[in-house]
Amino acid sequence: MAHIKVEEGIPGIRSLVLFRPETGKPLYDLAQVLLRGPSPLTEAERELIAAYVSHRNGCNFCMSSHAAAARCLYGEDKNIVDEVLADMFRSNVSDKMKALLHIAGKVQISGKEVKPAEISAAKALGANDREIHDTVLIASCFSMFNRYVDGLASFTPTDPAVYEEMGKRMATGYVAPTRP
Amino acid sequence: MPHINFNNDFPGIRSAMAYSPETAAPMGVLAEILLRSTEGLQPAERELIGMYVSYLNDCFYCHHSHGEIACIYLGGDRALVEQVRKDYTQAPISEKLKSLLGIAAKVQQGGKFVTAEDVSNAKANGADDKDIHDTVLIAAAFCMFNRYVDGLATTTPTDMSSYPLRAQQIVDNGYGSHVYSAKQPV
């Protein structure tokens, strides 16, 4: 049960946004611009970073839902998502993407963990400033979302089919839920 | 030196926000509601939570910036801000705020660290659901802001006399794009 009185049966962040729509709106706006707005990273790559950070934070709701969105966006290459979650360094993502995911993993621990060596490694593999910026902000952002969702013990569905549906909806973009 | 070229000389989060105004806009709106709302928790209490989480995350820029903002709201009581940072359990603040700071410290470690007991203690000390919600989201949001600031190695001003001037700008005008589009106070 959630730590505060939210509507029963509504999963994860959606229940929290319905509890406090004033903060829900900028949170969804941020997710939309960061994960769907202009970026040299594809939407699939950005969802993969989100799922990877959520996985490292042990946030099952965010990990399962953003992994589902990433699978949806990767289409035929959807196995990439499960490879990265199982063992990022041995997965089949590009070396540049591995370097960016590695930076995201450092951000998940702490901002100070990102050292010049990680940045120059990513740049040597072709990452530009915008890609590094977006990676750091996505990882930072999910360090917030994961804590928000788990810190209030919001409802985490366990049925994978629920997440598959959620992923399809998320692939089309983020709009804050409103009361029916 | 920052990890990327921001094309500006602003300090801390201001440089990253100026570099990426599209993402800065919702972040500014979020900060304005979370830190300046006067419903339930007061701005001084909200800023103390932000300051404390930033301190635990060892983010010098955010820790000192929000400490100074809290100080202004507290009528210049810097000793109180320092006491909260050093050991809030001994600070002359309400039992309610103490239990909320305890919850914020758990959130800083990870969302799952917050227990039902932490929440029921806060409720016994007079916190309502909205206070608990806002505390968790403020702490979570600073886990984002702190990582954004340090993860890109933004410039941290070393001149401590500059912090109260930027703090006054926030107290006067709130959070939003003016922090990088208007003239810097220092």
Supply the pLDDT for residue A179. Answer: 81
Q: Residue A17's closest chain B neighbor by CA?
A: B133
Q: Where are the alpha helices (DSSP H) in chain A?
A: 12-19, 21-36, 43-56, 60-74, 79-87, 95-109, 116-124, 129-151, 160-171
Q: Work out the mean pLDDT of chain A and round it to a whole number.
A: 97
Q: Which domains does chain B have, with CATH numbers?
A: 36-173 (1.20.1290.10)
Q: Which domains does chain A have, with CATH numbers?
A: 12-171 (1.20.1290.10)
Chain A, residues 134-173, CB within 8 A of chain B, namely 136-137, 139-141, 143-153
Supply the pLDDT for residue A167. Answer: 97
Inform me whether the C-beta atom of residue B171 falls under 8 Å from chain A C-beta atoms. Answer: no
Tens digits of residue pLDDT in B28-62: 999 999 999 999 999 999 999 999 999 999 999 99
Supply the pLDDT for residue B163. Answer: 97
Which distant-in-sequence residues (6+ apart) come within 8 Å of A48 by Cβ?
A70, A74, A80, A81, A84, A93, A97, A101
Tens digits of residue pLDDT in A82-97: 999 999 999 999 999 9
Instruction: Kindly list the residues from chain B whose CB atom is less than 8 angstroms away from the CB atom of residue A58.
Output: 110, 112
**What number is the average pLDDT over the span A126-155?**
98
Amino acid of residue A133 = H
Q: Between chains, do A136 and B59 touch, taking CB under 8 Å as contact?
A: no
pLDDT reading at A180 higher than 80:
no
Supply the pLDDT for residue A18. Answer: 96
